[in-house]
Structure 1
Amino acid sequence: MKHLLLLIALSGSLCFVQAQDTVIKEDFKPSTKNQPQQEYPQVNSQGYARFKIIAPAADSVRVSLGLGGQGGTKLLKAEDGSWMGTTAGPMDEGFHYYNINIDGGKFNDPGALNYYGSTRWESGIEIPAHDQDFYALKDVPHGHVQQVLFPSPSTQTSRRAFVYTPPGYYENPSLRYPVLYLQHGWGEDETAWSNQGHANLIMDNMIAEGKTKPFIIVMTYGMTNEVRMGGMRNFKIEPFQTVLINELIPYVDSKFRTIADQQHRAMGGLSMGGMETKTITLGNPDVFSHYALLSGGTYAPDDVNANKSKIKLIFLSAGSKERPDGVRNAAAALKEAGFNAVSYVSEGTGHEFQTWRRSLRELAPLLFKE
């Protein structure tokens, strides 16, 4: 967002106006990502966001929205010392990172919950989506997301992962499950898919509706954030590949009831996690049989022809505001070459978690089919 609506006083009341004379509905409600009992930020039914920051001694307050908080939009100061403003247009549906710039310093909004993104804990805001029911918290059987600390001799420490086990895992100790290793993007960490992505709720709801087979999801830190945005060519995959292949997978197979073979093991990732997925799957065809790149590039037939018989699925996705033709064309080329390839485009979204939430919803039913 590059502009904020001008806050003016008319007839003793506050009104929001913009050049296009758009009528903004005054049905604003607190964002679902707010701290308890905090009224701001707010969103309305059209997707506009309204912010209020208490900073009476400040000279300038801006809201920076999106991954990295690029740019800045000004808030205007009210008589009581607060700063307020409403976005100049509706935001895309779903989750967005943002931060507050006060007199040149970057801060989180005290009214909002924090989420790890852009290599720091950022404020988060949720724009209600027309299809948000698929990741809503419902009265259905729920799986568990647990933190595990696994030994990592290659990094001389213990590392952290989060493991989703589906409903019934503990009630049915004789059952074993396939596994999806699911990676976050640059600037995020192993908390992203649960906190921002609601991967556990997506799975719970789909399993309850009979839309997907139950499987385990493992989420760990991809060791990506030492690389500055724009310097991805300098990222070295080898240390993380060692952690994943030689340390984490054996740990998960020893501690959880997995089906510990290539045909029941998948890897996917969003954005830079997709880049990691592509590199690692191509280099380890005997480890993974299902590949998924979510806004994370594509495969070409020449990349995978040598291991065609080992690959059960290639899934490629993007938002319609990204480069959707790239994933469509790549999937078409893979299909023509004889692969089980599927593309998905999230309508009306860009490089944001709503794209990746929807992508997981589309991916899950395709995994581990007999």
Structure 2
Amino acid sequence: MNRKVRTLTIAFAFLTGAVAAQEVKDDFKPSIFNQSGQLYPQVNSQGYARFKIKAPMADSVRVSLGLGGSGGTILARDADGFFIGTTAGPMDEGFHYYHVMVDNGMFNDPGALNFYGSTRWESGIEIPAQDRDFYALKDVPHGQVSQVLFPSKSTGITRRAFVYTPPDYEKDMKKHYPVLYLQHGWGEDETAWSNQGFANLIMDNLIAHGEIKPFIIVMTYGMTNEIKWGGIRNFKIDSFQTVLVNELIPYVDSHFRTLPDQLSRAMAGLSMGGMETKKIALANPGVFSYYGLLSGGTFAPDDLKTDQQKPKLVFLSCGSKENPANVKKAADELKTAGFNAVSYVSPGTAHEFLTWRRSLKAMAPLLFR
């Protein structure tokens, strides 16, 4: 995933040495992604983040949000050996990766949980969104996210996937379900959509409110991280296409109560996972009927030129800080050409997980109708 586009480019500074654009409210609370019992990092109602790191022998400590480690919030030492500092401005709502630079070393924040992103386990912080209710943990029936290990003859190893099954999956053993194959972005893996994306909670809440037809979600590693940053154009889809189409889908159909046909199968992905979705969908016109590109490019009418290729839905989305005009234009051109195309733009977000959480919420009710 292109984190240079997604990640904030705000220049951070320690507030005691900078003039804040607004008065910072002293209503800081621990982030929801803190480790148990840890008070820092903290966020306030305006979206500022505050960090506190114990490093008594260090000369300098700063917190870097995003890829590359440049810039960051410079922390100042106190008398007890802690370094503390607050971002110079509010951050975008939603989830952010970050790490701590202690002198010349890069570390994770011991107060925060870790998430796989940027091809490594990074610390994570959540700035509460105004509309966070749709992915909140609520007192509703919950589905299960289970780990499955499936054989892959093409790669010579046993591979892993995570499978979300709806709350009623274990109750009606005669019921079969459609399936969404949902891909992560570059630098992430098969844990991303559950851990950073709250996909299971989004599904639970939509099902509880009767807004969607329950379906299974399958999340597996897209084999994208073998490509170094900046070399995305060199990514070859063939190996992952074989794993997904020839190995994982048959495994899922034989081990879960699926509806194993094209009309009951969707594929979607965020960022590079959207690129994978487009390439695999076009190369395998009889496999999926619903396509979703979440900050992952667009389709043109000429891409979908055969009767066999005509999907039931093309869903295109992005954040308002990305390329919304291109997404809307592409959807309009598909509609004019006779395709069922829907565009969605997440307000106030860029190439980040709040964009994709909202996109999943908008796309899910349109699937398998």
- TM-score above 0.5: yes
Task: Choose the corresponding residue for 2:13, options 4, 9, 18.
Answer: 4
Secondary structure at the counterpart of residue 129 of structure 1:
coil
Could you say which residue in structure 1 is the equivalent of 2:202? 202
Q: CA deviation at 1:219?
A: 0.1
Q: In 2, distance between residues paired with 1:71 and 1:228?
A: 22
Superposed CA deviations along residues 124-146 of structure 1, whole A, max 9, x for unmatched, are: 00000000000001111110000
Q: In 2, distance between residues paired with 1:244 and 1:273?
A: 13
Amino acid at match of 1:264: S
**Cα RMSD for the two superposed structures:** 1.2
Q: CA deviation at 1:324?
A: 0.9
Q: Quick check: 1:18 aligned with 2:27? A: no
Q: CA deviation at 1:69?
A: 4.7
Q: 1:166·1:214 contact (CA, 8 Å) conserved in 2?
A: yes
Secondary structure at the counterpart of residue 219 of structure 2:
strand
The correspondence of residues 127-206 of structure 1 with structure 2, limited to 5 A, is: 127-206=127-206
Q: In 1, distance between residues paired with 2:94 and 2:20?
A: 26
Q: 1:39 to 1:195 in 2, by over 3 A?
A: same
Could you say which residue in structure 2 is the equivalent of 1:111? 111
Q: In 2, distance between residues paired with 1:256 and 1:155?
A: 23
Q: In 2, distance between residues paired with 1:309 and 1:109?
A: 47
Q: CA deviation at 1:216?
A: 0.2
Could you say which residue in structure 2 is the equivalent of 1:227? 227
Q: In 2, distance between residues paired with 1:361 and 1:330?
A: 21
Amino acid at match of 1:3: F
Superposed CA deviations along residues 322-365 of structure 1, whole A, max 9, x for unmatched, are: 11111111001100110000000000111110000000000000
- TM-score normalised by the chain length of structure 2: 0.95
- TM-score normalised by the chain length of structure 1: 0.95
Could you say which residue in structure 1 is the equivalent of 2:336? 336
Could you say which residue in structure 2 is the equivalent of 1:47? 47
Q: 2:20·2:89 contact (CA, 8 Å) conserved in 1?
A: no
Could you say which residue in structure 2 is the equivalent of 1:56? 56
Q: 1:7·1:76 contact (CA, 8 Å) conserved in 2?
A: no
Superposed CA deviations along residues 288-308 of structure 1, whole A, max 9, x for unmatched, are: 010000000000111112247
* Aligned residue pair count: 360
Could you say which residue in structure 2 is the equivalent of 1:91? 91
Q: In 2, distance between residues paired with 1:344 and 1:69?
A: 32
The correspondence of residues 274-289 of structure 1 with structure 2, limited to 5 A, is: 274-289=274-289
Could you say which residue in structure 1 is the equivalent of 2:349? 349
Amino acid at match of 2:270: L
Amino acid at match of 2:14: L
Amino acid at match of 1:161: A
Could you say which residue in structure 2 is the equivalent of 1:12? none
- Name whichever of 78-87 and 137-146 sits farther off: 78-87
- Name whichever of 167-176 and 79-88 sits farther off: 79-88
Q: In 2, distance between residues paired with 1:158 and 1:221?
A: 12
Q: CA deviation at 1:70?
A: 4.6
Q: 1:67 to 1:341 in 2, by over 3 A?
A: farther
The percent of aligned pairs where both chains have the same amino acid is: 72
Secondary structure at the counterpart of residue 124 of structure 2:
strand
Could you say which residue in structure 2 is the equivalent of 1:361? 361
Q: In 1, distance between residues paired with 2:50 and 2:300?
A: 44
Could you say which residue in structure 2 is the equivalent of 1:320? 320
Q: CA deviation at 1:77?
A: 1.5
Q: CA deviation at 1:30?
A: 0.3
Unaligned stretches of 5+ in structure 2?
1-9
Secondary structure at the counterpart of residue 286 of structure 1:
coil
Q: In 2, distance between residues paired with 1:87 and 1:154?
A: 47
Unaligned stretches of 5+ in structure 1?
9-16
Could you say which residue in structure 2 is the equivalent of 1:36? 36
Q: In 2, distance between residues paired with 1:6 and 1:115?
A: 28
Q: 1:5·1:18 contact (CA, 8 Å) conserved in 2?
A: no
Q: 2:271·2:296 contact (CA, 8 Å) conserved in 1?
A: yes
Could you say which residue in structure 1 is the equivalent of 2:101? 101
Secondary structure at the counterpart of residue 142 of structure 2:
coil
Q: In 1, distance between residues paired with 2:307 and 2:226?
A: 32
Superposed CA deviations along residues 201-225 of structure 1, whole A, max 9, x for unmatched, are: 0000000000111000000000000
Q: 1:329 to 1:322 in 2, by over 3 A?
A: same
Q: 1:143·1:200 contact (CA, 8 Å) conserved in 2?
A: yes
Q: 1:308 to 1:345 in 2, by over 3 A?
A: farther
Amino acid at match of 1:4: A
Q: 1:68·1:118 contact (CA, 8 Å) conserved in 2?
A: no
Could you say which residue in structure 2 is the equivalent of 1:273? 273
Q: Quick check: 1:259 aligned with 2:259? A: yes
Secondary structure at the counterpart of residue 316 of structure 2:
strand
